[in-house]
Copies of this chain bind each other. A is one copy, B any other.
């Protein structure tokens, strides 16, 4: 809940064209640029539930507005995570909204971060401080969490005083280079939601660039925590694409590498299989010449000019973090993406459940 005095807000939602009811609802709420409260639930995504599911989301917002008297339901955002294609148990959820409203506290940030955990092993929070103002955030999820719960939900708050348009611009700029570049398993959720609420309580209006940098810092911190806590994963893989012709090229190449199942298996086996990196780059439309590509794994240039470089035996892959550097030798743009390895634990968690 945002106690004000301002209630400006911005939101970024999944690009999946199949959107959960709470995403459709919250997108409408955000169009007004004002959010007084956010209700988050886990256990059910309320996706692919038809008009009835949408009414469940509306009832959730109305219940929250009533419980926080004097507030409008169309300024209550809703975020859900869990199984797709099942209705929410509204007989449990609505009393839960009332209980949560009664338990609201200014010191409740940590508790909220714990409460939104699903199969997360730790809760995730981050903070960035400005001159007299602060941006804080909490998040749950990431691909490779329990099945159907792969959704990423994040809520950022600040006591800075900025209009909704500035919040929106800062949040979009931040998510584009942070959450959007975490690609655990290539699967895009129907429910991904990132919200930013500004109370203005500090009375300070920071410069836009300074504020945007703080939002980016918090998003980056949370995104990195999501990768590090991806269940079933044994490696965090950082992919630096450098010397690309454009940033789009760098992201396309990085995403193709991040989604290559054979490479993700190889890294799980601590095998510096650079051929799979080239093979992944080769499926993209990025500008490059195959015989000018270079690849380093943990700093060792195992591929030079598209062919065999330094002996792969000299690569040490025992640490949890593995860094792949892909040099497209085509320009000056770059991008960093994060993914995880593909493990038997991932398969187990995503097959041994439901029905």
Contacts and interface: CB of A to CB of B under 8 A. Distances in A.
A187 interface: yes
B343 A347 contact: yes
B262 A85 contact: no
B354 A306 contact: no
A265 B355 contact: no
A354 B346 CA distance: 22
Given A282-B17, A306-B48, A262 B185 contact: yes
18 contacts: A16-B279, A16-B283, A18-B293, A47-B279, A48-B278, A52-B307, A148-B275, A187-B260, A188-B283, A190-B279, A265-B347, A268-B351, A269-B350, A271-B353, A271-B355, A273-B354, A313-B355, A344-B344
A205 interface: no
Most buried by B among A312, A313, A350: A350
A103 interface: no
Contacts of A270: 355
A259 interface: yes
B269 A352 contact: yes
Task: Count identical subunits in the complex.
Answer: 2
Interface in A8-52: 15-19, 45, 47-50, 52
Interface residues of A, number: 74
Interface in A212-242: none
A344 B302 CA distance: 28
Contact of A351 (B147, B266, B280): B266
A48 B312 CA distance: 14
Most buried by B among A48, A262, A293: A48
